[in-house]
Chain A
Amino acid sequence: MNRPLPGMKTDSYERPNEKWTETVLVASEDGAEVTTTQRSLRNKRAVFTLAVTSFIVGTTLILFNSPYRNEFLAPGPLCSSHAQILAGQGADRCAACHGAGDKSFAQWFSDAISGGRSIGACQSDLCMECHKNSLNADYALVAHNVDPAVLAEMTAEKQRSGQFSLASYANVPGPPVNPLGELACSTCHREHHGSESLSALTDAQCQICHSDQIHSFEKDHPEFTSTPFNRRSRIAFDHTTHGLKHFAQSGMEFDCAQCHIDDERYDTKVLAPFEQSCAMCHEDEIIDSTSRDTLAMISLPMLDLDAISDAGGDIGQWPEMATGDFDGPLPGIMRLLLTADDEAAAILATLDRNFEFGDVDPYETDQVLQACDLVWSIKRLMHELSVEGSEAIKRRLEIVLERSISDDELVALTDGLEAPVFQEATRRWLPELTTELAVRTPGLQQYSLSQFGDGEVLFHYRPRSSEDTLAENPLKELMSANVSADQPAPSTPDPAPETVAPQQELAVVSTTPDPRDTSTPPAASQVIVNNERGDGGDEGGVVRNQTLRETPPVEIPAEQLLVENPLKERVEQTPGNTGAPVQVPPVAANAGQDDAPLAIVNTQSGSERQIVNQSSSPTAAEPSMPVAGNRQPTGEVLAANPLKERFGAPPVVPADPAVNLPVVNAPDVAQTVEPMEDEVAVIPNPHMETGINLPAVADSAPVSVPVSDPPGEVAVVARGAWIRNDLILQIGYRPEGHADSTLSEWADMITSVENADVRFETSALFEELTRQNSIGTCRNCHTVDRNENAFVVNWNGENHTSALREFTKFVHGPHLIQPHLQDCSYCHTLDPESNSVASFEGFDSTVSISNFEPIVKDNCASCHREGQTDSGCTQCHNYHVGSRRIGD
């Protein structure tokens, strides 16, 4: 600041560096110099600058702290949907998506200094606040929302197969990922551009990582190599043979839509249920196989007693009819249970995987002795079962499988198979069992078995294992185990073995509880009634009338049956049995709509009757028949019986379990099963599908009247029940038809065991259940996949397994609007030469021979090409995988 002093002469330098310039003005009159000073132009500029700056900055700061802050700061309008959501909240609108939204300027500053994230949640987290439901929350931010490990695996796989290459982040500066490999939402979704699409992703952007350059779909997108699923279909179904042979021959139309129906949203095709698709042709196969044999649990082998005695072995008492040459199988289940017994395990480990007693060479002493030991362990098994029933099974399974078995699982497996059954069997086959065992294992504390009716038998039991092993030996519980007192009172055991006469083949076993404890509340029957009410509908009503007409109510003391029928508990324990909902409803639906099933049923049931009649006769005619001979009719008889129930009622009113029992069974039993009443004995068992279950009960109705039991009989049950066969000395399970829960349970159990196919404990049962034409012929249609080392049976044939988004999407709906596309074969062309059978044989799901030509890209490209329909990557490919589809 240097204003010149008034009147002071100054030098002639111009001083533009000073704030003040003086101008020498010569006054006009008396040329006297007058010097005025004024701000220099620069100084004026400085003042102006200061004013402008302070105004603008000041205004800005004021607005920052004003209520208009958000409006002032917002860098642009939001996309419509976000705008609508946020419209409501005023002040903290920004804070919904920005951690900094409700913070002060100072905090922003410190945030910027600290390199960010010091304030509030990071934006991606805030996004997930709302979008967590629609995204796979665990991997919401990683690439494709897939576990990076898995993704890497898939990538490696695809790269191996040369399907595509993935650029490493090294050569291109890829999207910004953090050490966890996460991307921020804002990487792709850029807000504040108003109506512009938030999710638009250009092909170029896809191809940052997917580095092989695909310029347009029609030009250089790779040709489709596989049918949509690059695995074999889960149901072993050969479209070629069906379409061109079977359907053609039977003069039926091979209509895709019969099996491939729209899902509720019309965007994917799903498989129609069994009853609607396969049943009409394939049901009887299943029936046949189940009629032919059972899933044996206990089977006493034929033993060559002479050879044994020669070898110096001793097997104690053995049924007459099971003596002769060494023979008889070692059923999978029994083998499994035996291996829980160390002694047996030791032997079985040495024996061949599919050892049968037939293999025993009578002249090989040690083989014979081994057999004896095996027999003893079988006896121990029998005894254990007869003492504890399912508990024993559970325990032994747990030992072998080395895992705990839940009650539900046990119930599903044993399906009501309880001690009494085995006690009965023991009484009939090995009456001496307990005493033998007592003798064989002396010097033990005793406990009373009340079940052997009159007179208690003192009985000593000692586990074969030594004291120290006693601890972990599950059998030891046996000592303390007090078997429930309310066992049905059996008739007195026969003193002499010879009373078991070979010629007396068939007998009816009464498993009816002894009359004193008829303690069942009517509630039990109520349960059923409720059931009916539950899913009956008016059909139920109709059937009910029939019930009233045809059934003498008195004859069915339902509560008696229900007494030991675990159904009661089941109804409470396992509500909504897992399998049921999948299968039944469609049938229920269809039953009402199309009459095809009904028609089938009628014819079926018709034929059944004949079968029954025929089958009944021979058994009636020649009571005395060679065992071998007599097995057949037994089979017949047994086969006949279920058919009646099955086709008599269920298809008509599948949803109505309670009612159908009188409808068919009572009269049927009255007329046709009459003659074989004395042949059939029921081991009543509850069933998942009560509709199937109860007929069995019904069957037993007439025979359930306590009768004096002639010795030596075969206990037989209806479909889906356990059978004791005195002819072959076997206790086994007979499936009730398709989707038998017990059978599938055993299958699931055995396949879930690691390396079940090779382990000596399990291999037998595995083989038994998963071979072609096994009992129930499950494997004929349901493929078995090996994953890692365990297996899984594809009960569900659906290929669209998940409701979640996948990498590739195809929606049938809009395409099928196009007239020329409505014929499926436009895209799915059947290859007449193809034979897909081979692909279903092994356990390898990736071996896939399709009946269809691969879908041709040009089919798609004819519409999806530049200038016509959108043909960008995102048209068919999803980025966000594993998330629920929008609207789910």
Chain B
Amino acid sequence: MNAIGSQIKRPGRWDEPFDETISDEDVFRLKQLDPFRQMDPDAFSRAVPLEGILKNDCRLLDLEKGDIIVREGDYGNSAFLILDGNAIVSLVSLPAEVLGRKESRRLGWLESIAKLWKNSPHRESRDYAVQLEELSYVGAREDEQGTRIFLHDIPRVIPQGRSVELHPGEIFGEISALTRTPRSATVVAGSKMLLLEIRWQGFRDLLNRQPTLRKHVETLYRENSLRSHLREIELLKYLTKEDIEALAEETVFESYGDFRWNKDFKSISRKDISERILSEPVIAAEGDYVNGLLLIRNGFARLSREHGDGHQTIAYLGKGEVYGLRELVANSASEEQQPYMLSLRALGYVDILRIPTPVFERLVLPKIPAEKMPPVRTRTADSKQRRAASRGKSMDAGLMEFLVENRFINGTMGMMIDLNRCTRCDDCVRACAATHNNNPRFVRQGKKHDNWMIANACMHCLDPVCMIGCPTGAIHRDSHNGLVVINDKTCIGCGTCSASCPYTNIQMVEISDRKGKPFTDGYGKPIVKATKCDLCSEHAGGPACQRACPHDALLRVDLSTASTVTSITTRT
């Protein structure tokens, strides 16, 4: 076969603007509005001017009353600025059917078979003649910007008094956009409104250039997102609305570690484990005075205790977990004040909410029912009891270290292979290939800890660093199932994601057309695309690899929660 395939123009940063229709006078009008009015255009780099951001990273939405703007749980990648009209934030989580979360993109089994049938014999062959299927929602309305779902009757879905109203000039959705967390609430257009949607690459640039905006965002965060977050926390669900608000006022918002931890992760991981631990930013040290209850807002933290000269990892805390509760309870119960028993270290980037001790004792402690209280333990009894506890269904320490050190705890859908059962038959790989146009999307190879191997398949991380720095947003959270997927159409093959994935689970491949001839640009260089596991999101059966394993060896596991891992590793 000859190397000269069909040619296409090499994609660039703003080749695909967020919205084609946004015009220059739109941009001009926007610049007259807050907060852009205060912004100093010179503060922006020439490569990325404010106009550019507004033109390419923004889009204007004309919404009717009842249109759903963002859905709770979405991994939205953009923030919203209200230009006109007002929005309603629901404080109750809405039923799925209302949110239109139908598996409409799932293929019927006939389609699936048809797709198998149409599989190309060639590697990585693409067919750009075929348009990607459009999202289609039942009861939807079409407008020039695409499809919109709207609620016929807002009060019926969102009960009176369980909602917050947002007004022009307010920004929402920015926290999710910035902290890569799912939308905390559903937002609906409360009236006919005009909305500016800024995708998070653009918003990030704005923040970097505008400290005022950053402060503004932080206040916003404290006001809405923080409260709803506090409400989500198990421990605080006994508090009344007023308590929560009071709590929100008092809560300290801290963040540790590097927002871009994955950059130096590989270099660190080469260091010896003990010094690696020491290099991790300490959030609270063993033996420190107990100055508050720490809530993990985002990211991961390592719980460790001094063991001989080194530090032994006891557990890792993920989003929503608390630190120091036991100590607080114990101290409030007795006169003898005891310090933190374990030290908490930031793994990568961690957001912390600190509830100071007095606030805790005033607002929270009285509300917690006795049975929810952790057992009071004296420091002496502690180690014995912990050993007793660890003898239960707790994760083997070695494995935990393994998962933590390699940051596998980040993965929600890590591919765990039990090497004691795996016959190396490669059925999983073939199944994967069959469901992906004859191209595997993972490598049955990876780091192993005794009989457990985490294969090189996308883990769909809680903290998907791969999405950082994608110039086009081709890699994104699926707005339905939150899976990290790559829009092959818009991927420009820059390799950022592949490079930033700490687990090397994204492979750059050279694509070819239906005839198997490679696509090349004008200079004969092949066009490459980023590929990775999409967990067979469009097939009803779920991940084909797991279903294809005849020996129960391969499983897609939520590594971020220790209990799930344990339930797998303790199978007998």
Contacts and interface: CB of A to CB of B under 8 A. Distances in A.
Contacts of B430: 16-17
Contacts of B509: 11, 13
B424 to A, nearest CB: 10
Contacts of B123: 2, 4, 15
Interface string A13-35: 11111100000000000000000
11 contacts: A1-B121, A4-B123, A11-B509, A13-B439, A13-B440, A13-B441, A13-B509, A14-B429, A14-B445, A15-B123, A15-B433
Contact of A12 (B122, B429, B507): B507
A13 B122 contact: no
B529 to A, nearest CB: 10
Interface string B1-44: 10100000000000000000000000000000000000000000
B440 A15 contact: yes
A5 interface: yes
B510 interface: yes
Q: Which of A1, A8, A10, A15 has the most CB of B within 10 A?
A: A15
B524 to A, nearest CB: 12
A214 B531 CA distance: 79
**A-side interface mostly:** loop
B282 interface: no
Q: Which of A4, A8, A13, A17 has the most CB of B within 10 A?
A: A13
A18 B531 CA distance: 18
Contacts of B531: 11
B434 interface: yes
Contact of B122 (A2, A11, A14): A2
B516 interface: yes
Interface residues of A, number: 15
Contact of A17 (B3, B440, B510): B440
Contact of B426 (A8, A11, A16): A16
Contacts of A17: 429-430, 433-434, 438, 440
Q: Which of B121, B440, B442 has the most CB of A within 10 A?
A: B440
Contacts of B510: 8-11
Interface in B380-432: 426, 429-430
B178 interface: no
Contacts of B121: 1-2
Q: Which of B426, B441, B444 has the most CB of A within 10 A?
A: B426
B443 interface: yes
B508 A16 contact: no
Contacts of A14: 426, 429, 440, 443-445
A16 B426 CA distance: 7
A2 B516 contact: yes
Interface string A702-742: 00000000000000000000000000000000000000000
Interface of B: 1, 3, 121-124, 426, 429-430, 433-434, 438-445, 507-510, 516, 518, 531
A16 B443 contact: no
Contacts of A5: 1, 3, 518
A261 B429 CA distance: 93
Nearest to B1: A5
Given A2-B121, A2-B123, A2-B516, A13 B507 contact: yes
Contacts of B440: 13-17
B87 to A, nearest CB: 45
The 6 A-B residue pairs whose C-beta atoms are closest, nearest first, are A16-B426, A17-B433, A11-B509, A17-B430, A13-B440, A11-B507
A13 B510 CA distance: 12
A22 to B, nearest CB: 11
Contacts of A12: 443, 507
Contacts of B444: 14
B549 to A, nearest CB: 14
B433 to A, nearest CB: 4
A13 B443 contact: yes
Contacts of A11: 124, 507-510, 531
A16 B122 CA distance: 14
Contacts of A15: 123, 429, 433, 439-440
B548 to A, nearest CB: 11
A4 B429 CA distance: 19
A15 B433 CA distance: 8
Nearest to B424: A16
A43 to B, nearest CB: 13
B345 to A, nearest CB: 33
Nearest to B3: A5
B179 to A, nearest CB: 32
A16 B545 CA distance: 14
A9 B510 CA distance: 9
A301 B293 CA distance: 149
A10 B123 CA distance: 10
A178 B203 CA distance: 87
Interface string A161-187: 000000000000000000000000000
Nearest to B508: A11
Contacts of B439: 13, 15
Contacts of B1: 5
Given A13-B439, A14-B429, 19 more contacts: A2-B516, A8-B3, A8-B518, A9-B510, A11-B508, A11-B509, A11-B531, A12-B507, A13-B442, A14-B426, A14-B445, A15-B123, A15-B439, A15-B440, A16-B440, A17-B430, A17-B434, A17-B440, A18-B438
